[in-house]
Amino acid sequence: MQRRLPRPSEILPLIGTPDRSKSRLQRRLERCASVGDIRELARRSTPKSVFDYTDGGSMSETSLDRSRDAYRRVEFTPRVMRDVSQVDMSTNFLGKPNALPFAFAPTGFTRMMHHVGEPAVAQVAAGAGIAYALSTLGTTSIEGLATAVPHGRRWFQLYVSRDRTQAEDLMRRARDNGYDSLILTVDTAVGGIRWREVRNGLTIPPQLTLSTILDMSRHPKWWANVLTTEPLTFASLSTSGGTVGDLLTRVFDPGVTIADIAWINDNWDGAVIVKGVQSVADAVILSELGVDAIVLSNHGGRQIEKGNVPLELLPSVVDAVGDRTEVYVDGGIMSGADIVAALAFGATGTLIGRAYLYGLMAGGIDGVQRVADILTKEIKVTMQLLGVTSVDQLDASMVRLRPY
C-alpha cells in the first residue's frame, strides 16, 4: 500500500471545534452519557459534605446499595418485530396526565445543592410535563414556588410537626397555592443515623469551620453563590441547627399513627399519597382507609438500616391493593431502564430523588434538564427495544429479577 503525507486542507475539517453557541457547562453536561456521569460531575462541583449529604444513605448504606442492586438484577424479555416507530411515554398520575412515567420526589434543603434550588427543579418538571413535590424541609416557600413556576403541577410533602397547628397551616397554604396532592411521608418517625453527615460534621445551615474554610478554596463558586444569595434556611420551619437527622427527631412528631389519616382528610381535600410504605400489611391498611396512592419507599435508603427493597416488594403490594390504590415506587433509580422495569413490575409510576439532585449540583437548571433528557431518552429506547409503544403495554411477562 502506498502512503502519503496528508494535506492540511484534508486535516482541518476533521478537527472538531466546540459549539460556541453553548456554554462550557452545557458542553460538559452533554458529554455526560448517563446519570452516573452526572453524579461524577456533581461530586467535582460541590463541597464534599454537600455531595455526601445528597449521595449518602443511613449507617452502612445497605438499604441504598440493595435498592440500586435490585435494578442491576433486572432482566428484560424483549419482543421483536413489532412496530415501535411511535412511542407514547405519557401516563396518568392521580387523575391527571403526566407526560413521563416519573415525578420529581420531595427533597429537603435543595438550595444547598445549588443556589437556584427548588424553582429550577420545578421549572424543568413543568417543561417536561411532570409533577414536582415540594418538601416541608424545602428552602423555597410554598408561595414562593407557586409564584416562580405557576404553570407546573405541584405536590406538597408533609412532615407532621409536634405542633399540629403548624402542619395544618402548611396544608392550608399548599391548598391555597394550587398544590393538588399531599404526600404524607411516614418513614421518618425519627431521623435516620447518617454516618457520612456525622463524619463530615455537616450541620444545617453549614457552619464556617476550619475545614469548611479550606473547602472554600476548592469550591469558591459554590461558596460565593451561597454567601451572596438568600441565606440558606428552611422556608417552612422556624428552626434549624444540628444535622438533618437531629432536626427530624426534634421537630417532627414520632407519635403519628394510622388514625391521623382522618385528621389529614379533615384538613386536605385533594389527593393523599402516603410515602414510605415498606410492607404489604401497611399497604392494605392504608388502601382500606381510602388513601389515593402509596409510595413504596425507604426514603432512598436514608432512614432504616437494612430496610427491604421497594422494587422487590412491589409485585406483592400491587397484587394486594393495586386494583384500588395507585402504587408508586422509589429508591435507587438511576436510569430510564430502571423506570421501565418498575412499571413492568406493576408500578403506576416512579419518583426520582438523587438523580435530579445530581443534575442540580452538576449544573443548576441545565443539569436538571440534562438528567430529565437522559431519563426520557432511556425510557423511550428501552420501551422500543422491548417492543412496546405505550406505558400500559408494560407487564410482568417482560421482566424478572435475576437471583442473587
Ligand X SMILES: Cc1cc2nc3c(=O)[nH]c(=O)nc-3n(C[C@H](O)[C@H](O)[C@H](O)COP(=O)(O)O)c2cc1C
Catalytic residue numbers read 299
Cell 389515593 locates to 292
Name the grid cell of 58.
443511613
**Is residue 344 a contact partner of residue 395, using CB atoms and an 8 Å limit?**
yes
Cα–Cα distance measured from residue 396 to residue 343, given in angstroms and rounded to the nearest whole number: 9
The verdict on 353 binding ligand X (CB under 6 A) reads yes
Residues 6+ apart with CB under 8 A from 381: 336
The count of chain residues that interact with ligand X, using the rule CB under 6 A, is 24
The verdict on 111 binding ligand X (CB under 6 A) reads no
**Opening angle at CA 340, ends 339 and 342, nearest 5:** 65
Q: Around Cβ 75, how many Cβ atoms within 10 Å?
A: 10
Using alpha carbons, list the distances in angstroms from residue 111 to 123, 239, 361. 14, 17, 10
Q: Which stretch binds ligand X (CB under 6 A): 73-81, 99-107, 139-147, 174-182?
A: 99-107
Q: Is the Cβ of residue 367 or residue 388 nearer to ligand X in the bound state?
A: 367
Q: Is the Cβ of residue 105 or residue 167 nearer to ligand X in the bound state?
A: 105
Q: Which stretch binds ligand X (CB under 6 A): 11-19, 103-111, 121-129, 251-259?
A: 103-111
Of 49, 91, 139, 185, the one binding ligand X by CB under 6 A: 185
The verdict on 300 binding ligand X (CB under 6 A) reads yes
Cell 460531575 locates to 41
Cell 476548592 locates to 218
The DSSP call for residue 234 is: -
Cell 394550587 locates to 178
The verdict on 299 binding ligand X (CB under 6 A) reads yes
The verdict on 139 binding ligand X (CB under 6 A) reads no
Of 117, 191, 331, 367, the one binding ligand X by CB under 6 A: 331
The verdict on 332 binding ligand X (CB under 6 A) reads yes
The verdict on 352 binding ligand X (CB under 6 A) reads yes
The verdict on 54 binding ligand X (CB under 6 A) reads yes
Closest CA to 325 of 272, 363, 266: 272
The verdict on 108 binding ligand X (CB under 6 A) reads yes
Name the grid cell of 340.
421501565
The verdict on 336 binding ligand X (CB under 6 A) reads no
3-state secondary structure of 62: helix
Q: Which stretch binds ligand X (CB under 6 A): 77-85, 211-219, 346-354, 381-389?
A: 346-354
The verdict on 215 binding ligand X (CB under 6 A) reads no
The nearest distance, CB 166 to ligand X, in angstroms, is 16
The verdict on 272 binding ligand X (CB under 6 A) reads no
Cα–Cα distance measured from residue 301 to residue 191, given in angstroms and rounded to the nearest whole number: 12
The nearest distance, CB 384 to ligand X, in angstroms, is 24
Cα–Cα distance measured from residue 375 to residue 26, given in angstroms and rounded to the nearest whole number: 17
Q: Is the Cβ of residue 106 or residue 117 nearer to ligand X in the bound state?
A: 106
- Residues within the interface to ligand X (CB under 6 A): 54, 105-108, 135, 137, 157, 185, 275, 297, 299-300, 302, 330-333, 351-355, 357
